[in-house]
Amino acid sequence: MSTAVLTVRDLSVRFRMRGGGLVAAVSCADFDLAAGECLALVGESGCGKSVLASALLGLLPGNAETAGTATVDGVELLGADERTLARTVRGRRIALVPQSPAAHLTPVRTVRSQLEETLRELTGTPRRQLRAAAVAAAERAAFPASHLDRHPHELSGGLAQRAATALALVGDAPLLLADEPTTGLDRALVDRTADELRRHVTDGADGRALLMITHDLAAARRIADRVAVMYAGRIVEIADAEAFFGRPGPRHPYARGLLAALPERGFTPIPGLPPELSDLPPGCAFAARCDRATDRCGTRPGFTGGLACHHPVTAVAADPAPDRG
Ligand SMILES: Nc1ncnc2c1ncn2[C@@H]1O[C@H](COP(=O)(O)OP(=O)(O)OP(=O)(O)O)[C@@H](O)[C@H]1O
């Protein structure tokens, strides 16, 4: 692996609510993403994945407060003003592959005209070369040239996804940020989309990195080099994808529970519900649902060695729960 494309240190996002309450949407996220690498950020709905992505793109609402740092390709994102973000970050250093391509594309304009406009804006392609450049840009995302004069509503879900991906790739950004790129697609299309995203990371001449936010663990397994598991606003485990999905498996009890809840792995739900982000306990946020929890979990575990847990599961076969108290 080469140098880091994205460096996130101690990133926290809180929303200040009317009445003075605080919602701790992201707490102390800390990770790097290297060129040529794909990191899948997984976790249940509402755990803070999209807020983390919005923080990187500078798209948080006015009631958000941030702390920590996030650097992409030498640019510090959290302190950046809107002008810097618009001119040097979005599209140029971070390309967003959106959750809902149909909503992201402009409905009244053809794919060709949207590609040409984005090319003009991001790469300064001269007018006479725009047509050929748009065809080449479409090709990179396997969008057929024969469909370039269609409007978004005339495209299938898969082709709309490719059109959005083609637009995202125009600026040659070193970081691709895909927020739930496979939502609403059937399994075959999920696999194809995942493979294509992977290809854009592998093929990037200067080393592109992909941060994929998803709750689709099968898509994460197909594409990711590493997996980051988020629970109640906090990354609780970062692991090598092969070890995580295979052997020895996840070390954090929540991450183990996530896998065990998959239909093909026994369909065993994790008991209880996640805590409210406006009312997090002082200790481990998963302790109330965890069969390994002890009194020690009343103190918040630090994040060390890719793990935030006082009682991680080790590779020892029997995995007995620790003595309580
Ligand atoms: N502007 C806001 N003000 C207050 N709370 C917010 C705001 N935006 C998001 N939140 C809260 O932050 C938390 C994290 O939301 P986020 O959308 O990041 O979750 P997610 O993991 O991406 O979920 P999903 O998979 O459903 O998109 C949620 O509890 C959400 O209600």
- Ligand 1 geometric centre to CA of 47 (Å): 7
CB 171 within 8 Å of CB 163:
no
Q: Which residues pair with 76 in a beta bridge?
A: 71
Helical ranges in the chain per DSSP H: 49-57, 82-84, 101-104, 111-123, 130-140, 157-169, 187-203, 217-223, 241-245, 253-260
Q: Return the SS3 of 9.
A: strand
Q: Does ligand 1 come within 6 angstroms of the Cβ of 194?
A: no
Just give the CATH number of 1-83+205-325: 3.40.50.300
Domain residue ranges of the chain, discontinuous segments joined by +: 1-83+205-325
Strands 209-214 and 38-42: parallel
CB 96 within 8 Å of CB 168:
yes
Ligand 1, atom 19, lies closest to the CA of 46
Q: φ, ψ for residue 133 (rounded to 5)?
A: -65, -35
The atom number, within ligand 1, closest to the CA of 43 reads 21
Taking the C-alpha atoms of residue 99 and residue 121, their distance in angstroms, rounded to an integer, is 23
ipTM comes to: 0.96
Q: Does ligand 1 come within 6 angstroms of the Cβ of 51?
A: yes
- Ligand 1 geometric centre to CA of 112 (Å): 34
Per-residue model confidence as pLDDT tens for the chain (325 residues): 468 999 999 999 999 999 989 999 999 999 999 999 999 999 999 999 999 999 999 999 999 999 999 999 889 999 899 999 999 999 999 999 887 787 789 999 999 999 999 999 999 999 999 999 999 999 988 899 999 999 999 998 889 988 998 999 899 899 999 988 887 777 887 888 888 888 888 876 667 999 999 988 998 999 999 999 999 999 999 999 999 999 999 999 999 999 999 999 988 999 999 999 999 999 999 999 999 999 999 999 999 999 999 999 986 544 445 554 4
Task: Name the pTM for this structure.
Answer: 0.91
